[in-house]
Amino acid sequence: MIIVILLTMMVIPLPPFLLDTFFTFNITLSLVVVMVTVYVLRPLDFAVFPTIILVSTLLRLALNIASTRVILLEGHQGGAAAGHVIESFAEFVIGGNFAVGVVVFVILVIINFVVVTKGAGRVSEVSARFTLDAMPGKQMAIDADLNAGLITQEEARARRAEVAQEADFYGSMDGASKFVRGDAVAGILILIINLIGGLIIGVVQHDMSFGDAGRTYTLLTIGDGLVAQIPALLLSTATAIIVTRMTQSQDMGEQVFKQMFANPKVLGVTAGIMGGMGLVPGMPNFAFLSLAAVTGFGAWWMARKQEEAARAKPPVPLEAQAPARPETRELTWEDVPPVDVIGLEVGYGLIPIVDRNQGGQLMPRIKGVRKKLSQELGFLVPAVHIRDNLDLAPNAYRISLHGVPIGQGEIHPDREMAINPGQVHGTLKGIQTKDPAFGLEAVWIVPADREHAQALGYTVVDASTVIATHLSQILQDNAQELLGYEEVQQLLETLKQTAPKLVEDLVPRALPLTTVVQVLQNLLEEKVPIRDMRTIAETLAQQAQRTQDAAQLTAAVRVALGRMIVQSINGLAPELPVITLEPSLEQLLLNTTQGSGEVGPGLEPGLAERLHRSLSEATQRQEMQGEPAVLLVAPPLRPWLARMLRYAIPGLRVLNYQEVPENRQIRVVASIGQ
């Protein structure tokens, strides 16, 4: 309906009453838009703003056409012929002096066109470019938080949608700023055309003198131009405000107050300078001294408020200040601390990121890591015991399993880590380092450079996320050490609630608990989750009649979990790319297995080196093509090949023929020979 009304205004002549109504509505709409841009918390909360710019611009152009028609047709009858709004602006705002009106109009156009519109257009263009360049880095940061367990799938989906919406918004603002700039140019052209057309019509058609025609039509044209330029200036100001706003969810007035007047010294020094200028003879003493008094009072009032806030903090109790006296007592077993399953030691410089009272974010992020790993692995990951260690460097940390250090690193809590994923197009200033979790090249940057780093393609995370990601990677690589008798017993108790007969027949009738624990640990060591505890228990109960060996039971369970294993490697793709061994090499390895029971001791060193080199090259080719690297071998060869290649070629997964589901097709991408 709005578009139809705008088209109607351009074609059908409007009476002065409707012109006054639409001009008033245009000014009101511009004021509403300015107020919304001031009070909105984030630019994305006013995502419809580009459309509002287009509609309001079309409204002003339609009003210009309608008012031009009325001015040229009825202008010779007097100022009221074009409506009271135009007449009021022509008489009251510029005092009925067309020379003053021309000057005022030119100044408004210069302010709007040269200052506000040009600056807002440039900011919109740069914001759109940097926002689009930063999208890959922001997406990777969301994926990193999701993989570290810091956010859920729903939160990640919402953040991805927000990133896409932000890019669309700034891209639309870049285009919408061109509407505002074009509107300013149109205002100048319409003024010139109205002046020339009014003079010709007044002199030629209505037999007016040149002076009368010039005064009448110039006043009406200037009034019409002011009525259009003031809303245009307001909308340009709103555009500049929205594109220069920070993306934080905070009121603009609160941001201005905190960032400009939070320090009493600022107002105090300003008051002193203003007071000194007010004492200079010949200066407007009252104005300078009055403002000096106001700013001085503001500095005193803010300093007083800060002192009251500092005194309002509760004092530290004397009991906490005074060190407790050591007690002399006999040693007991309580003095022998148990070894923590998972330990995290931090230097004294990292205590603020651990202490929640100081705004530390490490504790909730570690909780998120535990929750994510527990859901993925299938058992409850033990709690992480965090303590300070004065023997470490101030910004260092150390991760241990069962009391043995297994990983360490050093971070800068006041900086953020920009990780190079391998596809960046620029360098950053900062402290060069490496990501402790994956060994990628990284740079410690100041938080102010976060947006710039993301625009260059870096993945930027804070210090707490660095530790949480490192901890998550270590726990995934050593999941088998986290599973013990208590955890397995709890798994069986949970399964017993839905399958009591199965658990009763399995432990201890079919297998001892020791064997079940060993099988589950073997699965975790080979990166196989134990979420499907029912299938694992059923397979163990069936195979227990044939063997009690943990290795053979593990192989049988892997076959039962084949669908899950292949899906974790290749998703739902119907075709599985695999690397195979040539028949002669595979037969040689099988003969060695039959001869010694262990292939490793009977394998020629040169052959082992060639096998390792060929598998490494094939794995690299698969990774470069974006496909998984899977080695498919005979069942007797899989266990020892998996052990031999687990750390030598981490990206290679070893499967046997029986573990591939029947509904998956196999595509041989490489065949390794002697």
Q: What is the pLDDT of residues 625-663, one digit of tens each?
A: 889 999 999 998 898 888 888 888 888 999 999 999 988
According to DSSP, the β-strands at 629-633 and 575-581 are parallel
Distance between CA atoms of residues 344 and 468, nearest Å = 11
Among the ranges 168-172, 228-232, 419-423, 550-554, which has the highest mean pLDDT value? Answer: 550-554
Question: Do 36 and 86 lie in a common domain?
Answer: yes
Examine the fold and report which residue of 222, 246, 270 is the final residue of a domain before the chain moves on: 246
**Residue 484 CA to its chain's centroid (Å):** 38
Specify if 138 maps to a domain. Answer: yes
313 within domain boundaries: no
- pLDDT band for position 180 (cuts 50, 70, 90): confident
Say how far residue 73 (Cα) sits from the centre of its chain: 58
CATH number at residue 508: 1.10.8.540
Q: How confident is the model at residue 666 (pLDDT cuts 50, 70, 90)?
A: very high
Query: Does the pLDDT at position 404 exceed 80?
Result: yes
> Using one digit for the tens of pLDDT, what is the confidence trace for 128-150?
777 777 777 777 778 777 766 67
* 332 assigned to some structural domain: no
- Kindly report the pTM of this predicted structure: 0.58
Same domain, 215 and 290: no
Asked which of 121-130, 161-170, 246-255 is least confident by mean pLDDT, the reply is 246-255
Q: Is residue 251 part of a domain?
A: no
Residue that finishes a domain, picked among 423, 451, 478: 478
Which pLDDT band, with edges at 50, 70 and 90, does 18 fall under? confident
Portion of the chain with pLDDT greater than 70, in percent: 91
- Residues 186, 140 share a domain: yes
pLDDT digits (tens, 9 = 90+) for 94-121: 666 667 767 777 777 777 777 777 777 7
Cα-flanking dihedrals φ and ψ of residue 513, to 5°? Answer: -60, -30
- Taking the C-alpha atoms of residue 529 and residue 513, their distance in angstroms, rounded to an integer, is 19
Predicted confidence at residue 221, as pLDDT, reads: 78
d(CA 640, CA 601): 11
Same-domain pairing of 578 and 516 = no
Domain termination site, one of 478, 501, 536:
478
> pLDDT digits over 37-75, tens only?
888 877 778 888 888 888 888 888 888 888 888 777 776
Q: Report the candidate in 254, 258, 241 with the shortest Cα–Cα distance to residue 35.
A: 241
- pLDDT at 11 (0 to 100): 76
Percent pLDDT > 90 in the chain is: 32
- Mean pLDDT across the stretch 250-272? 75
The answer on 413 and 388 residing in a single domain is yes
Considering the domain architecture, whether residues 293 and 371 belong to the same structural domain is answered as: no
Whether residues 62 and 135 fall in one domain: yes
The 3-state secondary structure of 494-551, one letter per residue: HHHCCCHHHHHHHHHHHCCHHHHHHHHHHHHHCCCCCCCHHHHHHHHHHHCCCCCCHH
Are residues 463 and 379 part of one domain?
A: yes
How many angstroms separate the CA atoms of 187 and 584, rounded?
Answer: 85
How many separate domains does the chain show? 5
Q: Phi then psi for 577, rounded to 5 degrees?
A: -75, 130
Same domain? 91 vs 202: yes
Task: Tell me whether residue 516 is in a domain.
Answer: yes
The strand order across the sheet containing 459-462 reads 431-434, 441-445, 416-419, 459-462
567 found inside a domain: no
Per the domain annotation, does 333 fall within a domain?
Answer: no
| pLDDT in the model for residue 90 | 64
- Give me the half-sphere count of Cα atoms (radius 13 Å) on the Cβ side of residue 169: 19
Q: Calculate the dihedral angle through the C-alpha atoms of 135, 136, 141, 147, rounding to the nearest 10 degrees.
A: 130
**Same domain for 50 and 199?**
yes
Nearest to 132 by CA among 163, 156, 162, 175: 163
Question: Is the pLDDT assigned to residue 80 strictly greater than 70?
Answer: no
Task: From residue 416, give the alpha-carbon distance in Å to each of 349, 413, 456, 465, 466.
Answer: 15, 8, 15, 9, 9
Task: Say if residue 163 is in the same domain as residue 28.
Answer: yes
CA-CA distance, 85 to 227, in Å (whole number)? 8
**Mean pLDDT along residues 253-261:** 70
d(CA 185, CA 223): 17
Confidence at 399, pLDDT banded by 50, 70, 90: very high
Same domain, 491 and 541: yes
Classify residue 84: in a domain, yes or no: yes
Q: Domain range spanning residue 531?
A: 483-560
Task: Please tell me the distance from the alpha carbon of residue 416 to that of residue 223, in angstroms, as a whole number.
Answer: 56
Between CA 233 and CA 161 the distance in angstroms is: 33
